[in-house]
Amino acid sequence: MGEAAEKLAAGDRFSSAKVSIETQLAVERFLYRQAEILDEKRWDEWLTLFAEDGHYWMPVSEDQEDGEGVPNIFWENLDMMTMRIRRNNHPQAHSQAPENRLCHVVSNVIVESEDPNGDVVVRSRFHCAEYLRYDIRNFTGKYRHYLKKTAEGYRIALQRVDLVNREGPYEYVIQWWL
């Protein structure tokens, strides 16, 4: 198990840390900015949100503690994310014709823990509408981010995304991260 997955597994996902207003605001701004980057498809910026060994993770079940070595809906590092960006933007990516659009609302932001070095674990909820093939489908679920504090601001060591409908069936493939 990687260090980031261990961190989330060891944390209490019902706890709430007494953080400063500044920390709360900085964390919220980070989450909102990530959602905006995704909705606006600013892919170069998307990649800078993650730590070098960071992962985006969507498990198949709530009790899963690690993305390594088990089936997942998403389990992607920077190499895989780069591949996905290039593939979806390739001229022959016919499943992106028409191009899909995402629109997120992120809320219920609770900082779960804050380390002395400023790293935080934060929970939130999201709702995301996807416009695809002239039709809308909806995704909703919870985020759990392990954010590392760096000189340039927070970087995602691990983002866990638990969909409410994780068992599916899915009407179509999820082509972008949610």
Partner 1 sequence: MTWSESEIAALVEPDRVHRKAYVDPEIFDLEMERIFERLWIYIGHESQVKNPGDYYLARVGRQPMMMTRDWNGEINVLYNRCPHRGAQICSARKGNAGKLFRCSYHAWMFELDGRLESVPGAKGYEGTRFDMSSPDFHIRKAPRADNYRGFWFASLAEDGPDLKTHLGRAGLALDQLVDRSPDGEIEVVGDCFHMIQQSNWKLFLENQIDASHPGATHESTGAAARSVENEMKKDGKQPPMSYGFLSDFVRHGIDGWDKFGTTGLPQGHCTLEGYMGLRPDDPDTNEYVERMYASYGEEKAEEILGVDLHHVLLYPCNSVQPPLQQLRTIRPIGPDRTLSEIWHFRLKGAPEAIYQRSLAYYYLVNSPSTMVNADDLFNWWKCQHGLESNAIEWVSFHRNAGQDTEEGGIMYSAPSSMSELPMRSMMHAWRDYMTANGAGA
Q: To the nearest whole angstrom, how small is the minimum distance from the Cβ of residue 88 to partner 1? A: 8
Label residue 39 exposed, middle or buried (CB < 10 Å: 0-12, 13-18, 19+): middle
Which CB, 23 or 96, lies closer to partner 1?
Answer: 96
Q: To the nearest whole angstrom, how small is the minimum distance from the Cβ of residue 16 to partner 1? A: 31
Which CB, 99 or 115, lies closer to partner 1?
Answer: 99
**Which spans of this chain sit near partner 1 (rule: CB under 8 A)?**
58, 60-61, 69-75, 79, 82-84, 86-88, 90-95, 133, 167-175
Q: To the nearest whole angstrom, how small is the minimum distance from the Cβ of residue 113 to partner 1? A: 29
Which CB, 78 or 110, lies closer to partner 1?
Answer: 78
The radius of gyration computed from the CA coordinates of the chain, to the nearest angstrom, equals 16
Nearest to 118 by CA among 147, 82, 78: 147
Say if residues 113 and 3 touch (Cβ distance below 8 Å).
Answer: no
Q: To the nearest whole angstrom, how small is the minimum distance from the Cβ of residue 98 to partner 1? A: 11
Q: What are phi and psi of 105, to 5 degrees?
A: -125, 125
